[in-house]
Amino acid sequence: MLTWWLGIPSSSSHTLIGGFIGAALAHAGGWAVNGKHIIDYASVIPTFCFIVLAPLIGMVVALVITILIVNIFRRSNPYKAESWFRRLQLLSSALLSLGHGGNDAQKVLGIIAAALVAHGDLDRVQDVPAWVPVSCFSAIALGTMSGGWRIVRTMGSRITKVSPLEGVCAEIAGAITLFLVQYLGIPVSTTHTITGAIVGVGATRRMSAVRWGITINLIWAWVLTIPVSALLAAVVYWVVWH
């Protein structure tokens, strides 16, 4: 909510992971109990790595797709081409939304499933009841419909000015990246991925077309998301527990 108010597109995935880590450490009272680490680093380290890798993959894929499409349609009538790409954005945005739902909702679902297992209402996270995914998907849809126009403005115009053609390229690149990491089972940020893709399409015009000051501020927000969320979760746990 804080980053939404500031107009910074942060990662809900990383806020969840940070919150989970902070609450677990606060409950355990340290990094280890009886010589065993509280945090499963084999699961957490790939997530940290993809804070950098996801936007880079999105950027490279967007660069390649944009260069290919621009060369294929270089002799087309600009007015007709723009009209077609405006229509194609419906398809590309649907693909990105599918990748978003297939990636982001699973993390919320996983934390609710973990709570049900801890409470004794569930034996395995694989047996999660139907109301959990339905509520997660519905909440994401309602959140998208409710606005967040500060973030829309940042993504649509503040990083770089995005044309319909570039929007199609960025959304297809983001969708490809999300489908890939979903297949690999790695939780990444949809926000980081599409931001990298937008930077990629902007860089195909010229590097100065990207507002690097805005981009660097976003990167700082990404780096700080997990530790700040972990700290807040630890504080909330301490307040509730006491």
> Percent of the chain beyond pLDDT 90?
12
If phi > 0 it is left, if psi is from -120 to 50 it is alpha, else beta; for residue 186 that is beta
User: In terms of pLDDT, which residue wins out, 207 or 40?
Assistant: 40
- Give the model confidence (pLDDT) of 144-154 as tens digits: 777 666 677 76
Domain ranges of the chain: 52-210
Q: pTM for the complete prediction?
A: 0.74
With b for 16 or more beta-carbon neighbours within 10 A and e for fewer, the 64-98 pattern comes to ebbeebeeeeeeeeeeebeebbeebbeebbebbbe
**What does the pLDDT read at residue 157?**
65
pLDDT at 156: 62
**What is the C-alpha to C-alpha distance for residues 169 and 172, in angstroms, rounded to an integer?**
5
pLDDT band of residue 188 (cuts 50, 70, 90) is confident
> In the chain, count of helices (H) and strands (E)?
9, 2
Better pLDDT: 1 or 84: 84
Q: Which of 205, 193, 190 is nearest to 160 (CA)?
A: 205
Model confidence at 5: pLDDT above 70: yes
Distance, in Å, from the CA atom of 136 to the CA atom of 209, rounded to the nearest integer, reads: 37
Mean pLDDT of 131-145: 83
Residue 233 has pLDDT above 90, yes or no: yes
